[in-house]
Structure 1
């Protein structure tokens, strides 16, 4: 796969013993790789699995990994918190003795917060390790799904970017043909201006010399050559493996720099219009590059 995007989603589910869970991984654009994790209490080792898994698959983007786990109620026993129950009884005793309240009933006491607690018992270390390993595998599956989604996005971006590069190359070629007429246009414009100011005293030799100097300053062949080189470099990056988004982003800055110089040197309205079309296409290319890993 040539390029990868930075947005996508992946999900994997699992079950072991009394536990069921779902792992989800999603990502959005980011200049660097940033991994965030949300998991169930008591499974702290899963964060490391999420971070290492993301770092092994991605180089850029904001990646969020979440795990939701649930243990079946049938697997959990309940116990009465006698200490908490005693606190409630002690607090109510003065009111009962003073006749200000009726003696508390058992069902009322059991309904009070903290009196009945879930008692999962002591988790066997080997069983806990197996459970965490299974959850970590699901995290890996979710990250694999995210990777596939990002590669799919990259495939869609590839066609768009290649089309924009073709358009840039076409505009560069068109600008080259237009730029060939710049010396003649500059000479005619300078000659008309000189005759307007000096009349017949303006010598042809002086006009040719000054027009030649102006044409040299307005020569855009270097800019066009560099733009053509940037197009080939961008095509090479799109065909390369790995994360190329940063290099493409830098290359678009070079594209825009040359296009700006081309417009500033233009002495022909048609060439200026082509330069503006070129800048607009480069900006569209830059916007799409922001989605490339």
Structure 2
């Protein structure tokens, strides 16, 4: 099902150790979009500092989404890459203590450089990473809520479109219904005419009883081949079921997929068994409508 939502939120400062960022706090931006797919296919585009939160984001999405090719993209905006955060004093104290212990045992070891301290302390970003994660998950939930609302609005529109197609299919079925006995009678008369012509030119060795028996067998087989009343009955039942499913709502996508396949099978059989051009036209019109419904059903969860 197609959909799109996005949002931005400033990263909260850490409650201790002062502000974790030099200058203005950065903002996290999240975009969520999806296109049609029969199954749920999730993909994530995250920067390195947000990569660790992918499992939590995946769990968040799978709780509410069932179908669609879904992409979540997140990035950090407004961050001054040249500004470094101050390492927390408690971290510096711990590193100094560890350095003294190591150098007591290994006096020839090189002391820590500034680059070593920043790398080992993460530049004071332990609180920052926590702030990024909390902000990211809260923002992702907000964007997902907007995303679901957008898809719900699209679902209402798709339901109206599908119900309109159902009305058209019922109209075509109503046109086909009175044609069934007419087609059977017309083909019966044509069959009898050709059969009598064949008997008139047949060898005299063919007895009337044998000819009558063969005629009955052929007429029965022919009537079965061209009678589409059963297909029209099943098609009407499928239309009623689709309408019921649409009005019920919920996770209906896969059930609609199956019902659309059944509709197409009945419409195809209707055309292949029909001996009249008008019935075949109705079958073609039905298949066009059903194919339009199939494309839209891919959008529904």
Q: Do Structure 1 and Structure 2 share a fold, with TM-score over 0.5?
A: yes
> Displacement of 1:73 after TM fit?
2.8
Please name the residue that 2:84 is paired with. Answer: 77
Alignment: residue pair count: 251
Superimposed CA distance per residue, residues 10-30 of structure 1 (whole angstroms, 9 cap, x where no aligned partner): 111111232211111111111
SS state at 1:259 partner: helix
Please name the residue that 1:42 is paired with. Answer: 49
Superimposed CA distance per residue, residues 26-80 of structure 1 (whole angstroms, 9 cap, x where no aligned partner): 111112111111223223332123211211111011111111113543992399x
Superimposed CA distance per residue, residues 215-273 of structure 1 (whole angstroms, 9 cap, x where no aligned partner): 23322121111101110111122122322122211211111111121112212222222
- 1:183–1:71 Cα change, 3 Å: closer
Contact preservation (8 Å) 2:195, 2:215: no
> Displacement of 1:286 after TM fit?
1.3
SS state at 1:58 partner: coil
Which whole-Å CA distance do the structure 2 matches of 1:205 and 1:220 have between them? 26
SS state at 2:70 partner: strand
Does 1:186 pair with 2:187?
A: yes
Which of 6, 16, 19 is equivalent to 1:11? 6
Which structure features the higher share of strand residues? Answer: 1
Query: Normalised by the size of structure 2, how large is the TM-score?
Result: 0.74
SS state at 1:26 partner: strand
Which whole-Å CA distance do the structure 2 matches of 1:130 and 1:172 have between them? 62
Contact preservation (8 Å) 1:187, 1:208: no
Please name the residue that 1:62 is paired with. Answer: 69
Which whole-Å CA distance do the structure 2 matches of 1:72 and 1:211 have between them? 84
Which whole-Å CA distance do the structure 2 matches of 1:197 and 1:155 have between them? 61
Please name the residue that 1:173 is paired with. Answer: 174
Which whole-Å CA distance do the structure 2 matches of 1:52 and 1:139 have between them? 11
SS state at 2:300 partner: coil
Contact preservation (8 Å) 1:194, 1:207: no
Please name the residue that 1:108 is paired with. Answer: none
Which whole-Å CA distance do the structure 2 matches of 1:148 and 1:238 have between them? 18
> Displacement of 1:8 after TM fit?
0.9
Which whole-Å CA distance do the structure 2 matches of 1:58 and 1:130 have between them? 26
> Displacement of 1:200 after TM fit?
9.2
Aligned pairs for 1:262-281 (under 5 A) are: 262-281=270-289
> Displacement of 1:130 after TM fit?
3.6
Query: Normalised by the size of structure 1, how large is the TM-score?
Result: 0.76
Contact preservation (8 Å) 2:268, 2:287: yes
SS state at 2:139 partner: helix
The higher-RCO structure (CA 8 Å, 6+ apart) is 1
Contact preservation (8 Å) 1:185, 1:267: no
Please name the residue that 1:122 is paired with. Answer: 124
- Structure 2 residue ranges without an equivalent (≥5): 14-24, 87-114
SS state at 1:50 partner: helix
Which whole-Å CA distance do the structure 1 matches of 2:130 and 2:85 have between them? 24
Please name the residue that 1:283 is paired with. Answer: 291
Instruction: Note the aligned Cα RMSD (angstroms).
Output: 3.0
Which whole-Å CA distance do the structure 2 matches of 1:73 and 1:279 have between them? 59
